[in-house]
Amino acid sequence: MDNLQFIREFDSAHTEDLVNIYHAVGWLNHKYDNVKVIFETSTHVVIVKYDNKIVGFARALSDSHFNAVIYDVVVAPAFQGKGIASQMVELLLNDFQHLSCIHLISTTGNAAFYSKLGFKKLKTGMAIYHKSDLEAEYTE
């Protein structure tokens, strides 16, 4: 897809557009103030613009030596299926190629997408969810 611009730094001016995309994909708990904080505190950010409009984003946290975790790979519905998510994840994977481990929790139904990018299911992965609906969705 031509005219894609990949921005690697968060600017608070992007916050409203990011919230709108979260809401467009059904992540309605993502409000302006928390989205601003989670992007400000992420160590790695990818924001994608098409014709100067934000159409996707991903973020990650890393200790810069051993581990990283990728969060929130999100693409606006009208731009899904065009390879944008793959490109964002590949940029993050390139950032983390020197690390021993990169974690990611897939949203329901998207595990096959991440498998194609090299992610494997964990034998020992565990989590604590404080919201019962998330616990029901993501744990065994």
The residues carrying an active-site annotation are: 114
Radius of gyration of the chain (CA): 15
For the chain, helix (H) and strand (E) counts, in that order, are: 5, 5
Strand pairing category for 67-75 and 4-7: unpaired
How far does the chain reach from its first CA to its final CA, in angstroms? 38
Query: Residue 60 phi/psi, 5° resolution?
Result: -155, 160
Whole-angstrom distance, CA of residue 47 vs CA of residue 20: 14
Query: Residue 135 phi/psi, 5° resolution?
Result: -60, -45
